[in-house]
Amino acid sequence: MKDSTKGILLACLSALMWGLLAIALKIALNYTDSYTIVWWRFAASFLILILFYLFRSPRSLRVLRNPPKILLLGGVLLGINFFGFQQGIEHAGPAVSQVIIQAGPVNLALIGFIIFKEKINFIRITGFLLAATGFYFFYHQQMQVMPDGGGALRIGALWTFAGALAWTGYAIINKIMVKRMAPMQINLIIYGIPALIFIPFADFQSLYLLNSPIVCLLFLFLALNTILAYGGLSMALKYTEANRISMIVTLNPIITFIILEILLLINVHWFESPPMAPMAYIGALMVLGGVALAVGARKVQWKWKRTRIKND
């Protein structure tokens, strides 16, 4: 199998995991708070990787003794991303958060122009304008159907956008470091830092009281989702270009929309979620189309002013 094919398949795995994740996170809020959910996702994923390396390659754990400082920053940024997205889901719902979080790939493409000196073209400019218009249209339409006058939507959108900005920084750091370290070693550090940061805020008692097998499976899924999604992303970045990966990852809101519509159709109500305005779907499609054009129209050339990093 070609490296580019491996990268595409791994990116598809990440998109699927993130599409399911938004709904799973909303359900998990029935049992505990955002801080605890975020801590659990990082802590469980970190422990899974520790066990993996203990059996597979104990020497690889030496990276924890003196991790690269840039990865410490990457861990902080990913922690902000997780918490911002979680807060967005809590206040604005899975569908809205999945659209707003797409600002992350758009920001990453902008960074390519500003910092990495990537060349711009008409198609990509069109993509940026379409995405920006779509964000505004989606937000404006969704405000019309919010039951509280839009207060929760504003809070959720701000948190989600902050998470998207943090993800952009994390993605840049990951792309740089995947050239020097194994993807799972990178994730080992990046998961461990937020797991430590969120310890003071986690409600451990609420996790201890999870005695339903189905709920336990839900939280196990959240842990495995983190491993599969970000592990797949790190490995995909190793095998293919960042712009292809970003374009595939933007498909995950469609997965979320489809599942939400199926739940509504079969009359399953696992959580309360604001209704989607019919015209908001048009805005969402504009966002996804714009992101696809902005990040996928041309091969990304990651280039510093003095140091050039070639894509695989």
Give me the half-sphere count of Cα atoms (radius 13 Å) on the Cβ side of residue 285. 5
Name which of 25-39, 66-80, 124-138, 239-253 the model is least confident about: 239-253
What pLDDT sits at residue 28? 94
User: What is the distance between the alpha carbons of residues 274 and 41, in angstroms, rounded to a whole number?
Assistant: 25
Mean pLDDT value of segment 143-147 = 76
pLDDT tens profile 161-175: 999 999 989 988 987
Tell me: pLDDT of 279 over 50: yes
Instruction: State phi, psi for 117 to the nearest 5 degrees.
Output: 60, 40
Q: In sequence order, what are the residues at sequence separation of 6 or more whose Cβ sits closer than 8 angstroms to the Cβ of residue 88?
A: 96, 97, 100, 101, 156, 157, 159, 160, 163
Residue 194 has pLDDT above 90, yes or no: yes
Tell me the per-residue pLDDT of 40-99, one tens digit each, with 9 for 90 and over. 999 999 999 999 889 888 888 888 888 889 999 999 999 999 999 999 999 988 988 999
Higher pLDDT, 142 or 36: 36
pLDDT band at 201 (very low <50, low <70, confident <90, very high): very high
Q: How confident is the model at residue 85, as a pLDDT?
A: 95
Q: What are phi and psi of 267, to 5 degrees?
A: 60, 45
Torsion of CA 223, 226, 231, 236, to 10 degrees: 150
pLDDT at 306 over 60: no
The answer, yes or no, to whether residue 176 has pLDDT greater than 50, is yes
Q: Which residue has the higher pLDDT, 263 or 80?
A: 80
Instruction: Please say if the pLDDT value at position 282 is more than 70.
Output: yes
If you average pLDDT over every residue of the chain, what do you get? 83
Q: Per residue in 218-259, pLDDT tens? A: 999 998 998 888 778 778 877 877 667 767 777 788 888 888
pLDDT at site 305:
43
Please report the pLDDT score of residue 118 as a whole number: 65
Mean pLDDT calculated for residue range 172-181: 84
The pLDDT value recorded for residue 300 is 40
Q: Please compute the mean of the pLDDT values over residues 120-128 and round it to a whole number.
A: 81
Q: State the residue for tokens 């922690």.
A: 79
Q: What is the residue extent of each domain of the chain?
A: 3-296
Per-residue confidence at 304, pLDDT binned at 50, 70, 90?
very low
Higher pLDDT, 31 or 121: 31
Answer whether residue 303 shows pLDDT above 50.
no
Give me the percent of the chain exceeding a pLDDT of 70: 90
How confident is the model at residue 74, as a pLDDT?
A: 93
- Residue 264's identity, in one-letter code, is L
Instruction: Quickly state the pLDDT bin for 35 (edges 50, 70, 90).
Output: very high
Instruction: Give the model's pLDDT for residue 143.
Output: 83
pLDDT (0 to 100) of residue 243: 64
